[in-house]
Amino acid sequence: MAQIAVNQSSPQRWRMSLSKSPLLSSAKMPAYVRASLPVRSAVEPHEADRKLLAQLATRIIQIEGPIHIEDIARRIAASFGRERAGSRISSAPQEALKLAERLSSDILNQESFWLTRGQLESPPVRGRSADEGAPSKASNISILELKAALRLAREDNAGGDPAELIRTAARLLGFRRVGPELQARLRQALEQMDAVTAS
């Protein structure tokens, strides 16, 4: 039977105290923590026991959620010592995630992202500059985390125009520059926030 070597200490999730913080434009958020959960097994990930994969997926979500399904597949592949998640390996997490969702009412799915109830209620904002393995593709960053970063930016600069709020939120997420994909995704999150406020 394969075993997961798990570091039981989960990463601390905290939000800056804005009243005591310097200006957000120069602030740093907690670093993105990547799940590293080596599995001792002689089988390939897609051949592994589904319950083991569900447990592994659950731990990855607890550490990194909200996390895109592509990144979960990469972490599972890495847990088995594989550098990439090929098509056979990529199919295994989908089944494991469905099982994880059935086994735990704490695991949630929103579109292509997986998270815990706690992460839904208080989405983490994490700096990605220190970890090359952290999701940096704009489409792999949850709209929940983008909205949380924009909320922090807006609380610090209530009168800021959308372009400034987007730049500040991008810096909070650890990006030095705002590329077109990230800008479009942050603008989408901002428009969703404004639509809720207006209604």
Domain boundaries, the chain: 3-198
- pLDDT confidence of residue 93: 85
Looking at the chain, the whole-number percentage of residues with pLDDT higher than 70 is 82
- pLDDT confidence of residue 5: 53
- pLDDT confidence of residue 102: 96
- pLDDT confidence of residue 16: 35
pTM score: 0.83
Q: Report whether pLDDT(126) > 50.
A: yes
Task: Using pLDDT thresholds of 50, 70 and 90, give the confidence band for residue 135.
Answer: confident
- pLDDT confidence of residue 18: 33
Buried b / exposed e along 159-180 (16+ C-beta atoms within 10 A)? eeeeeebbbbbbbbbbbeebee
- Worst-scoring range by mean pLDDT, 32-46, 85-99, 144-158, 174-188? 85-99
Q: Report whether pLDDT(101) > 70.
A: yes
- Worst-scoring range by mean pLDDT, 15-19, 61-65, 100-104, 131-135? 15-19
